[in-house]
Amino acid sequence: MAFATRQLVRFASTAAAKKLVVKHVTVIGGGLMGAGIAQIAAATGHTVILVDQSDEILNKSKKGIEDGLKRVTKKKFVDKPEAGAEFIEKTLKNLTTSTDPVSVVHSTDLVIEAILENLAAKNELFKTLDKFAPEHTIFASNTSSLPITEIANSTTRQDRFAGLHFFNPVPMMKLVEVIKTPMTSQKTFESLMDFSKTLGKNPVSCKASTSQNFKKGDTPGFIVNRLLVPYLMEGVRLFERGDASKEDIDIAMKLGASYPMGPFELLDYVGLDTCKYIIDGWHVLEPDNPLFAPSPLLNQLVEEKKLGKKTGEGFYKYK
């Protein structure tokens, strides 16, 4: 009898630790990032619901996804147009849209949030969805700069919450950062690593920091942005001090470091407002860290609505 009891306990423990196989995904936010995540999830056989505030936004998102799929098929099915058409049709069948997140999370395995970079908005969204999503559902935020731990604390499922940071353009970029907070369970972490791999991505792990300096709990910017954003800001400071022209700085990094883009070209591509938002947030958290000091020139350009390629002018002008 004792042996049977031990076997039962062992079985129950193993079952409890079994990873979740993600089949149904809900993506909140139909912008470039959210639409890109929805596209690759649907293309890899997942059932996907893309959610945003209006049908107008969602129609634009779906058009972008269809255009993206056409670009993929041109490369993937060069000599097989029929197979390409079938791939597009099958992917779109896996994708539906909704303007009501509460009504669609009742059967989802994974919620990926990709809304605006606003902590209060993210907290409110997850707090609401937490009441309606099944117990097994994992929540993940695609934030590039906000503290995952603090967002997780807006829910009652801290053990089923993590960061899942994709890169733009999502269908092309192979990297995903999986951010594990001190409360994230190993089961959740492994489930998200496996999910990322099913998307054809290369996931890397970044643990939430326990540093007293970063009081909110995570490593600012995780891996990529923690290295990239201070590098971009140092480029701006070089230019502000008059040490070198922006053109020469860009050329130097492309030819000297084999970077595909210089810091000013990359800032214009990413968006000056995005970089300012990130560095301002980090400066609030660590005001004495010189790497996180704001830039007067960057602030001025953002105030003048010169945000980079998307507005036609940033550090450079675009036709």
Instruction: Name residue, tokens 């919620």.
Output: 111
- Cα gap 301→254, rounded to integer Å: 24
165 is catalytic: yes
Please answer whether residues 221 and 188 qualify as being in contact, where contact means their C-beta atoms are separated by less than 8 angstroms: no
- Catalytic residue, candidates 177, 191, 196, 209: 177
Torsions phi, psi of 132, nearest 5? -115, -20
177 is catalytic: yes
Using alpha carbons only, what angle is made at residue 269 by residues 144 and 280, rounded to the nearest 5 degrees?
Answer: 45
- Catalytic residue, candidates 165, 209, 265, 295: 165
- Catalytic residue, candidates 144, 145, 196, 209: 144
225 is catalytic: yes
Order of strands, edge to edge, in the sheet holding 24-28?
Answer: 95-98, 47-51, 24-28, 110-113, 138-141, 161-166, 175-180, 202-207
Instruction: Name residue, tokens 């709990």.
Output: 217
- Cα gap 105→27, rounded to integer Å: 10
Q: Which helix (H) or strand (E) holds 203?
A: strand 202-207
What one-letter code names the amino acid at 195? F
- Cα gap 27→49, rounded to integer Å: 6
Q: Is 310 exposed, middle or buried (0-12, 13-18, 19+ CB in 10 A)?
A: middle
- Cα gap 141→122, rounded to integer Å: 8
- Catalytic residue, candidates 142, 196, 225, 295: 225
- The residues annotated as belonging to the active site are 144, 165, 177, 225
